[in-house]
Amino acid sequence: MRAAVVRDGAVAVQEVPDLVPRPGELLVKVASSGINAADLLQRSGLYPAPAGSPADIPGLEFAGEVVATGGGWSAYKLGDRVMAVVGGGGQAEYAVVHESHALLVPKRVDLEAAGGFPEAFSTAHDALVTQARMTSSDRVLITGAAGGVGTAAIQIAAALGGTVVASARDEAKHAALVELGADSTITPDQTADAGPFDVVLELVGGSSLADVQRTLARFARVVVIGVGGGGPRVELDLLGVMQRRITLTGSTLRSRSVEEKAQVAAAVRRGLLPLLGSGAIRVPVQSVLPLEDVSVAYDAFAAGGKLGKYVLSVSE
């Protein structure tokens, strides 16, 4: 089969050995696969694939049709439209995924957009709902809100009934963030006056969190998911944490165990697929490029300025 392959700091499509699903796995003919920041890190050699994932085929998510199962009983049948987060290998003609990680693509969603759904929406849902236990009474700040996880998080927080403040440096994108469901938008330098917040999804990192920590309500929950824009370190005010009973946590999706990923998928099935199926949330697609143009697509993704997902289309 053909697949994007990372080698010596570059990515290009080439022929690789076919895949054989093991028991409990699905073999999926990939229709599309979203691009994520981790793909670029993997191209640079800075983000090695986790154990059990293809070492040199990037792609943390995909959507497509089931073409084979690994044998034994399966909850899926051939032709089922599925999508999933994977440790890698999504940017290829075929991919395998453990059944417990697969999500059925709702009828009204086309496979092209679906390939950009799993990673960002699972990350945002896990952070907001499972980690921060967000409810409809919460005032929610999403920093770095114009990115893939940010645009997913705005929609999820709005669909759950929260009051959503979206923070993005580029004011030209603010109108689009409101359209996605943000109640108001700010630039990072307006953070101090925008609180208090009950839940913060921190997608920028240290420099952002330095300001955010002063805007937290009593019992606020802060979940750190990204540090690419603002650096990995922050000077934390512990008295503020104590007096306002703050909880700070963080996570990466990729490093989790098979069981943990299955729990994330189960939560997405229950909490998020109904919203996707009803149209309450949708994948904002910035651009679709063919798999053969993977290198161009990575460069476009890296150039920034985007709102929504870059998706590689894999079907011939």
| Chain residues in the site for a copy of itself (CB under 8 A) | 205-206, 209, 224-225, 227, 232-239, 241-243, 245-252, 255
Q: Toward a copy of itself, which CB reaches closer, 19 or 216?
A: 216
Crossing angle for the helix pair 258-271 and 118-125, nearest 10 degrees? 90
Least Å distance, CB 47 to a copy of itself, is 12
List of residues 6+ apart from 19 with CB closer than 8 A: 1, 27, 94, 95, 96
Least Å distance, CB 243 to a copy of itself, is 6
CA distance 110 to 285: 12
Instruction: Supply 19's token pair.
Output: 């895949």
Least Å distance, CB 272 to a copy of itself, is 21
Q: What angle do CA 45, 149, 280 make, to 5 degrees?
A: 145
Least Å distance, CB 87 to a copy of itself, is 15
Q: Toward a copy of itself, which CB reaches closer, 263 or 286?
A: 263
Least Å distance, CB 199 to a copy of itself, is 14
CA distance 157 to 287: 24
Q: Toward a copy of itself, which CB reaches closer, 74 or 213?
A: 213
CA distance 279 to 192: 34
Buried b (16+ CB within 10 A) or exposed e, 231-264: eeebeeeeeebeeeebebeebebbebeeeebbeb
Q: Toward a copy of itself, which CB reaches closer, 135 or 252?
A: 252
What's the DSSP call for residue 129? I
Instruction: Supply 18's token pair.
Output: 């076919």
Q: Toward a copy of itself, which CB reaches closer, 14 or 243?
A: 243
CA distance 241 to 145: 24
Least Å distance, CB 276 to a copy of itself, is 26
In the numeric block, the tokens 């993704």 are attached to: 301
Q: Toward a copy of itself, which CB reaches closer, 167 or 185?
A: 167
Q: Toward a copy of itself, which CB reaches closer, 114 or 222?
A: 222
Instruction: Supply 231's token pair.
Output: 């650096």
Least Å distance, CB 256 to a copy of itself, is 8
